[in-house]
Chain A
Amino acid sequence: GQNIDQPTEMTATEGAIVQINCTYQTSGFNGLFWYQQHAGEAPTFLSYNVLDGLEEKGRFSSFLSRSKGYSYLLLKELQMKDSASYLCAEMDSNYQLIWGAGTKLIIKP
């Protein structure tokens, strides 16, 4: 089956680091995507991983382990504007994106 799991909500402090985990189960895999969605807005693309390892892009990094069906998004030096939902999505063998329900990240001063 196809199932994407990520925590419903997380809270972190401004200036700190937070890691948002995502696990997936699928018979086919063509990559793992992370998106950011601010309240009332459309999702915006953050990162894409298809090979194992860490991809760093400024304050945001994304990690993938295909053997474990596991990914995480790491946000450093948190800012108040990082308060948003973070969506994990796996591209299956049909090149269709299977979406997690999203993790709502709350940043406190």
Chain B
Amino acid sequence: KAGVTQTPRYLIKTRGQQVTLSCSPISGHRSVSWYQQTPGQGLQFLFEYFSETQRNKGNFPGRFSGRQFSNSRSEMNVSTLELGDSALYLCASSYYEQYFGPGTRLTVT
């Protein structure tokens, strides 16, 4: 079975721009969760989608949004980027335990 894939792997953007990250879950997994991780920090939960519906949401501003498609692929969007948004963004798909993709490392300059 193919693992979780995320694209792009690396991204450099400037303040004020927007960005869209993509995640393809493991086949058969209907739940996709997104996390932000900054150096020395734990995983900060952004949101979780299940069958195209947002099931849980973390404490992030409205600039962070996401969606899930009928094939379970998911995207997250960050608008009006800030320097503090520089982080590793991880996607995880699950049937029960979560399996993580390699992440997208976003740098905002």
Instruction: Write the A29-45 contact mask toward B (1 if CB under 8 angstroms, else 0).
Output: 00001000000011111
Which residues of chain A from 86 to 109 have a CB within 8 Å of any chain B CB? 87, 94, 96-97, 99-102
Q: Which residue of chain B has its CB nearest to the CB of A100? A: B42
Say which residue of A44, A45, A97, A102 sits within 8 Å of B33 (CB atoms). A97
Within 65-104 of B, Cβ neighbours of A (below 8 Å) are at 90, 96-103
- B41 at interface by CB-CB < 8 Å: yes
Which B-chain residue is minimally distant from A50 (CB atoms)?
Answer: B96
Give the residue of A43, A44, A94 whose beta carbon is less than 8 angstroms from that of B43: A43
Interface residue tally for chain B (C-beta within 8 Å): 17
Residue in A43, A94, A100 whose beta carbon sits within 8 Å of that of B100 in the complex: A43
Q: B56 — which chain A residues lie within 8 A by C-beta? A: 94, 96
Q: Does B45 contact A (CB under 8 A)?
A: yes
Contact B100 A48 (CB under 8 A): no
On whether A42 and B90 interact (CB within 8 A), knowing A96-B45, A97-B45, A101-B41, the answer reads: yes
Given known A96-B45, A100-B42, contact A45–B97 (CB-CB < 8 A): yes
Neighbouring B residues of A42 by C-beta, 8 Å: 90, 100-103
A102→B48 contact, CB < 8 A: no
Q: Could you list 13 A-B pairs, sorted by A, with CB under 8 Å? A: A33-B98, A41-B102, A42-B100, A42-B101, A42-B102, A42-B103, A43-B100, A44-B100, A45-B99, A96-B48, A97-B33, A99-B43, A100-B42
Q: A45-B97, A97-B45 are in contact. List 16 more A-B contacts (CB 8 A).
A: A33-B98, A41-B102, A42-B100, A42-B103, A43-B90, A43-B100, A44-B100, A45-B98, A48-B96, A48-B97, A96-B56, A97-B33, A99-B42, A99-B43, A100-B42, A101-B42
